[in-house]
Amino acid sequence: MSLLFYIFSGLMLGFGIMVIVCRNPLSSALCLVISFLGLAALFVTLNAYFISIIQILVYTGAVMVLFLFIIMLLDIREEKSKDWNFLAVGGGVVVLFGFVVQLISVLGGYEDGKQKMVPFPEDSSHEDVKMIGAEIFTNYNFHLQVLGVLLLVATIGVVVLSRRQGKEGSENN
Amino acid sequence: MPTLNEYLLMGGLLFVIGLCGVMIRSNIIVILMSLEMMLSAANLTLVAFWRFGGGEGLPADSYNAQVMVFFVITVAAAEVAVGLAIIVALFRSRQTVDVEELRSMKG
Amino acid sequence: MTTAFIILLLPLVAAASNLLLLRKKANFSAFVSTFSAAICLVLTFGLIRQDDLNNLGSFNWIKIADLKLDIGIELHGLGLGMILVVTLIGFLVHLFSLGYMREDAGKARYFSGLSLFMFSMTGIVFADNLAMMFIFWELVGVSSYLLIGHWYHKNTAAEAAKKAFLVNRIGDFGFMIGILLIWGSFGSVNFVEIEGSLRNGNGNYDKGLLNWSVFCIFCGAIGKSAQVPLHVWLPDAMEGPTPVSALIHAATMVAAGVFMLTKVLFLIEVAPTAASVIQYVGAITALIAALMATQQNDIKKILAYSTLSQLGYMIMAVGFAGLLSGGEVLGEKASNAGFFHLYTHAFFKALLFLGSGAIIYACHHEQNIWKMGGLIGRMKVTSFTFLIATAALAGIYPLSGFYSKDAIMTIAANKPLLLVIGSFVAFLTAFYMTRLCVVVFFGRARSWSSEEAKEVPLLMLVPLLVLTIGAIFAGQTFAYSWFVPSKDIPHPEGVVLPLILTAIAVAGIIAGFFLYRGRDQEPYPVQVLSRKFYLDEIYIILVRIFQDAVAWVAKQIDRLLIDGLLVRGVARLVTEIGSVLRGMQSGNLQGYAFLFGVGVILVLYIINAAIG
């Protein structure tokens, strides 16, 4: 179990780093797919099967395909001609360092965090799809509806944003 | 068996990788991808807290955390859609996706 | 909504509708105003016959910590007489104005001004606390300003309006300080509450402070009732239409100062020093104004100085409410005497002004008495009413002025000096009024305008006749007991004082008659008096010196401190900080992300430090 955890964590972090290192956006996108697959596997080790599947379907399926389409559509080349912006890299490293130091110091003092995982109790009150469904459609029903409206608004917004503007023909509409 | 702190550490590292991506890369599409990584890191942390929420390595009884994660993923998907549409509009008007060339906000 | 509130708000509604909706329909707006005044009069008759005059309505207006301001109605004692005077004279003046202002272009504006004045004056009478009184006090100032400046295209009228307003501001500033002092000492501005805490305190208050408070409040009366040294605005205010002079600058608003003093009577009673100041200011005003009146040539100016002089009488009488040297407190007796004169004076002075308005109207807006003459044959009714009012003002038995002057002199007899001044003023009053009547009504017509004069229309005669009845009978017991519920009006003991006063008045009349009979111009010009003791000139010089000095100091402060340090300094500080911060707005997304990351780390660090 521990071994699997480290393998998938390494996968996730490694390809996460690859995302920002690769010069080609297409490579970045593919690295992100693998990174998210590792994340989904981590969800499985946490016994959150439903979230894991959602992660794969929504992110690695839908969202990443969207990214790839956009990269294809805009026909973006590698940033060949450009060198690294060392100022930005330096800033990034400073933030990375500061953040990791803070993270370790916080987690080092977190006693509850030292508990080891025990096997998951596989009983009827821990069937996650059923429980999440019950939760969403009872306690969080209103929030769900609001979320639906949000998605509708996003859809309309995307349509409006993607309309070609400034052409003579469209002004008549 | 891994501990809660190990999961939290992985979540934090993923988050800071995303943050660095936002800072270092100038390609706006990659910046958007990094944002997704940061959101996912938050999700991982949430689920980890749920899994250890019952104490003694047992999961919490309530599934609120996972519902929250579900909502976050939904919102993130909407955000990506709108963000990419904006990028498309931006590319149409400026012919670039490099944020270093987009400095109209300079004071 | 009590009747009292309707009386208060009806004129306001009329004024608002006239000003906002009926500007183009002048005749209709005149009707609206007059009608509202008539309704107020009828309601007032009902109100003062009401048995229960408590709880006339009150609501909280402002409440900040200890400061509690109400808009409330308090009506008892002299207030009943005052509200009746206001609505009755107000209605008659409205009626008179219908004729007098028939042809005026600004008729709608004029009548909305009148209605606004009625509203404000009613508010002063109704006020149950000093703050509310002050608000309406300022409102009458505003409406007076508007009405004096009614013919604003005339430069003198505009100047006079401005002068009235500014001079009043000086007095009102004192009034405001007085209110604050009272609030500071008693923690309330409500009349009943102040009186209560004064009585409960058993003399446990700062006497010096109280004297100063009463003096400051009296400053308001000095301004509004045009006492020396702030009397200069009232003669100039005669630039306004004559009915306005009758209503505002003779019968009601200028009497508001006297009325206000009667409202704070309980304070004057315990502030002997301030009370003496009040007496002497009143007496000096009465004397100076009467002297100035003897040499004026403008019919309205004579009446204006006469008003000043009579107001001085009232103020002097009210001042006697304070502790006398003998340890006696006249209290209500003194204020009743002052108010009694206010009330009789309202009738005959309004009558005189309306009569002069009728004369001016008939003489084609000629105001110089030396251009009139022989009017008694051409304007019989007007002349008759005017002569009655003159006799009343001079104090001839049995007209109303006789009684009220007796009352005041009875009070003044407590200080021989003031009694002498008062008697001399009585002589002067009879003298200058006789001079006026002799010149205007007798002799020959001295210009074409008085030759062509003919009697004014019936609409203007009715108010004159009604007021004549008032001027004749207002002094009788049956009449004033109806107006002034408190019957404690001092009467002279024996017949000596009334006989002396009558003799003085008759002497004045005889002197005036024989000195001015058959004259066509001023036979004995006295520069000092006709130029009003050069007070206006002195004021102008004083104002110029002080104003220039203050202006210079203010300019330096403004330039160096306000402009240099505060305004420009702050602006420069902001600019500098802005230009430093501007460097951060690189427009670079990555820069912003870096700052964001640093911020996140800082937040983490702070939380971590706070917990661990």
User: Based on C-alpha coordinates, what's the Rg of chain C?
Assistant: 29
The total number of residues written for chain C in this structure: 612
C220: closest CA among C245, C268, C254? C254
Query: Does residue B47 contact residue A122 with C-beta atoms inside 8 Å?
Result: no
Q: Residue C549 is encoded by which pair of tokens?
A: 């000095």
Q: Give bridge partners of residue C69 from the DSSP assignment.
A: C62
Buried b (16+ CB within 10 A) or exposed e, C172-181: bebbbbbbeb
CB contact under 8 A, A118 and B21: no
- Residue A170 pLDDT more than 50? no
Query: B 80-99 residues with CB below 8 A of A?
Result: 80-82, 84-89, 91-92, 97-98
Inter-chain residue contact C604 with A99, CB threshold 8 Å:
yes
**If you measure CA to CA, which chain B residue comes closest to C597?**
B19
Percent of chain C with pLDDT over 90: 26
- pLDDT number for residue A169: 43
- Domain membership of residue B31 (yes or no) is yes
Cβ contacts of A95 on chain B, cutoff 8 Å: 16, 19-20, 23
Q: Do A102 and C598 touch (CB under 8 A)?
A: no
Residues of B in contact with A117 (CB under 8 A): 1-4, 51-52, 57
- CB of C58 within 8 A of CB of C70? yes
pLDDT of residue C581: 82
Q: Which of A91, A92, A98 is opposite residue C601, by nearest beta carbon?
A: A98
Residues C141 and C121: their CA atoms lie apart, in Å, by: 10
C218, C223, C224, C226 alpha-carbon torsion, rounded to 10°: 110
Give the CA-trace dihedral at C295, C297, C303, C308, to 10 degrees.
-40
| Greatest alpha-carbon span in chain B | 57
Q: Please give the average per-residue pLDDT across B49-59, as a whole number.
A: 87
C289-340 residue pLDDT tens:
999 998 888 899 999 999 999 999 999 998 888 766 666 777 778 888 888 8
A75: left (phi over 0), alpha (psi -120 to 50) or beta: left
* B38 assigned to some structural domain: yes
Of residues C164 and A171, more confidently modeled: C164
pTM > 0.95:
no
For residue A164, pLDDT over 60 is answered with yes
Contacts of A88 in chain C (CB under 8 A): 590, 594
Asked if the Cβ–Cβ distance from A95 to C597 is below 8 Å, we say yes
CATH 1.20.120.1200 is held by the domain A1-78: yes
pLDDT at A77 (0 to 100):
67
Contact A109 C612 (CB under 8 A): yes
Backbone angles phi, psi at C531, to 5 degrees: -90, 15
Option in C590, C601, C611 nearest A99 (CB):
C601
* Structural domain contains residue B107: no
pLDDT at A165: 63
Burial of A150 (0-12, 13-18, 19+ CB in 10 A): middle
Domains: count for chain B: 1
CA angle C39, C45, C48 (to 5 degrees): 130
Confidence of residue A172 (pLDDT cuts 50, 70, 90): very low
- B16 → chain C, closest CA residue: C597
C-alpha separations of C230 from C172, C192, C347 in Å? 11, 30, 25
What is the percentage of chain C residues whose pLDDT exceeds 70? Answer: 97
Asked if A92 is an interface residue toward chain C (Cβ–Cβ < 8 A), one would say yes
d(CA A165, nearest CA chain B) in Å: 9
Distance CA C278, CA C266 (A): 15
pLDDT in tens, C474-523: 888 777 776 665 556 777 777 788 888 889 999 999 998 888 887 777 77
Q: Is the dihedral of CA B84, B88, B93, B95 positive or negative?
A: positive
Side-chain-side CA neighbours of C93 within 13 Å: the count stands at 34
Confidence of residue B106 (pLDDT cuts 50, 70, 90): low
- Domain of residue B63 covers 4-101
Identify all chain A residues contacting B32, using CB atoms and an 8 Å cutoff: 67
Q: Is A131 on the interface with B (CB under 8 A)?
A: yes
Please report, for the domain that includes residue B59, its CATH number. Answer: 1.10.287.3510
Contacts of A2 in chain B (CB under 8 A): 1-2
Q: Give the neighbours of chain A: at least 3 Cβ pairs within 8 Å.
A: B, C
Q: Give the tens place of pLDDT for each residue, C2-48.
A: 788 888 889 999 998 888 887 778 888 888 999 999 999 998 888 87
Domain definitions of chain A by residue range = 1-78, 124-164
Cβ of A116 and B25 within 8 Å? no
pLDDT value of residue B89: 87
Closest CA to C460 of C593, C305, C587, C354: C354
